[in-house]
Amino acid sequence: MADKKQDSSFKVTDRRLFTSDGELRSDVAEEVETPKPEPTSAAKETAAKPTATADGAAPEREMPVPPTKAEQDAQAAAYHQSSKDLDKEVELSGHSAKEFEITFERFMAQLYMTAMLQLGLMRQQGEQPRVDIIGARLTIDTLSLISEKTKGNLTPTEENFLQNSLYELRMAYVEVTNALARPPQPGPATGTTGR
C-alpha cells in the first residue's frame, strides 16, 4: 500500500491547562488578558452616583422615558391584531381560542404548578423530580405579593383560589426544607441477622 501524504488544512492545539495527573502543564502559554474598553460618559456618571443616601435608603433610579400614548396605542392595536390572527389559526385547527385566554385563576394555577415543580413535588412526564428551593421561594413570594397588591379587588372565587394555593405551597415548602435539612436516614438492613 502506498503511503498517502495527508495535507491537513487545520491544526489541533491542546489548550488544556492540566495533565492527566492533574499537574499544571509547563508548555501552556499564559493567556494575556485583553484590555477592557473605557466606559462611556454615561457609564461613568452611573458609576459615580452614590449607592445609598446618608440615611441608608437606596437612591431613586433613573427610569427610561415611557412610550407616548400614541406609541402605546399603536403597539396595543398591533398586538390585538396579531392575537386575532393567531386565534383564527387556532380555530381552524379544531381548537377553541377560549382555551388559551388568560384568566386570573389560570395565571395563579401557572404559578402554583411552577412552585410545585420547583419543590420537586411534581415533575414532567419521563423526568426525575428536581428541587429548586430558591426558585420555589421566589414563586411563593410572588404569589404572596400578588395577594397583598390585589386585596379587595378579587372575586370570592379568585381570593379563595389564591389563599388556598398560598397555604398549600407554604406548607409544602416547609416540609421540603425540613426534609432537606435532616440528615439522611439509614435504610432498612439487608441480608441475614446471623441466626
| pLDDT > 70 in the chain, percent | 66
Residue 81 to residue 77: CA distance in whole angstroms:
6
Residue 169 to residue 7: CA distance in whole angstroms:
64
Is 92 a domain residue? no
Is 16 a domain residue? no
Q: Note if the pTM is more than 0.85.
A: no
Report pLDDT for 44: 47
Do 169 and 115 meet the contact criterion of CB atoms below 8 Å apart?
yes
Amino acid present at 176: V
Is 89 a domain residue? no
Is 23 a domain residue? no
Q: What digits encode the pLDDT tens for the residues 149-176?
A: 999 999 999 999 999 999 999 999 999 9
Is 40 a domain residue? no
Is 55 a domain residue? no
Amino acid present at 57: A
Is 48 a domain residue? no
Q: Rg of the chain's alpha carbons, rounded to an integer?
A: 29
Report pLDDT for 90: 86
Q: Is 6 exposed, middle or buried (0-12, 13-18, 19+ CB in 10 A)?
A: exposed
Is 78 a domain residue? no
Domain count, the chain: 1
Report pLDDT for 12: 64
Segments of the chain scoring below 70 in pLDDT: 1-18, 20, 22-59, 187-195
What is the extent of the structural domain holding 122?
102-181
Residue 22 to residue 51: CA distance in whole angstroms:
43
